[in-house]
Amino acid sequence: MQAPVSVSPVIRNAVLFGCVGLASGILVWLVISFVWESLIGLDAHATIAGWDLSIGHLTLVPGLVFGNAVGLALVRFGLAGPGRALAYIAAATLANFMATNFAANMVDAVESAALLGMSAGLVGAACLTALTLLLFPFARHLRPCLWMVAAGTALGALLHVAIEDNSSWGRGFLLLYAFWQAGYGAALGAALPRRSSA
């Protein structure tokens, strides 16, 4: 009889949190596409220091949903209490708010949608990673931090797919949010302490 294959805790955690991110990204797309406008409908705008800021489905939903999903997973792993989980929700919401508004304000200055998405991905991933470092000592290692920022930056290029998509149900945004949140989640999962793999 063959011995069972042992999977590294780093890989296991990365896959688990990648799956959490994937589920979160799919839920984001469902809320944005089918729920927000009919049930909530918030779409406000403000100008601060010359920057036009949007407060609506694209600036709020992705961070709120991802923050909740990851925050709950961290609580389940015993790595966060309710206070830190709520703080992570706020951090993810702020990071997405900044990244999305950055993209909206730079859309006329950057010709390539992929480059624009990568720039916005860098802004969002760097912001969320920095806030994660403040909240969770386990994340204070160079390699996982670089993975988180690299994943967010590279997967931001999918903004091109989202912008160019003409389907009535927004397939491009499904791909953008599902893959971005899965990739960032996997990179965060790789930072978890090894003991939390069970």
b/e map of 87-123 (b: 16 or more CB within 10 Å)? bbbbbbbbbbbbbbbbbbeeeeeeeebbebbbbbbbb
What confidence score (pLDDT) does residue 1 get? 59
Cα–Cα distances in Å, from 31 out to 45, 117, 157, 176, 177? 20, 21, 22, 14, 12
Domain coordinates in residue numbering, the chain: 9-197
What confidence score (pLDDT) does residue 83 get? 97
Structure tokens at 197: 């793999």
Residues 6 or more apart from 43 whose CB is under 8 A from it? 54, 55, 56, 57
Q: Residue 176: what residue type?
A: L
What confidence score (pLDDT) does residue 4 get? 64
Q: How far apart are CA 180 and CA 5, in angstroms?
A: 29
As averages over each run of 10 residues, the pLDDT of the chain (198 residues) reads 73 96 97 83 80 89 97 95 97 97 93 95 98 94 94 96 81 94 96 65
Q: How far apart are CA 86 and CA 25, in angstroms?
A: 19
What confidence score (pLDDT) does residue 198 get? 37
pTM reported for the whole predicted model: 0.90
What confidence score (pLDDT) does residue 167 get? 74
List of E strands, the chain: 44-48, 51-55
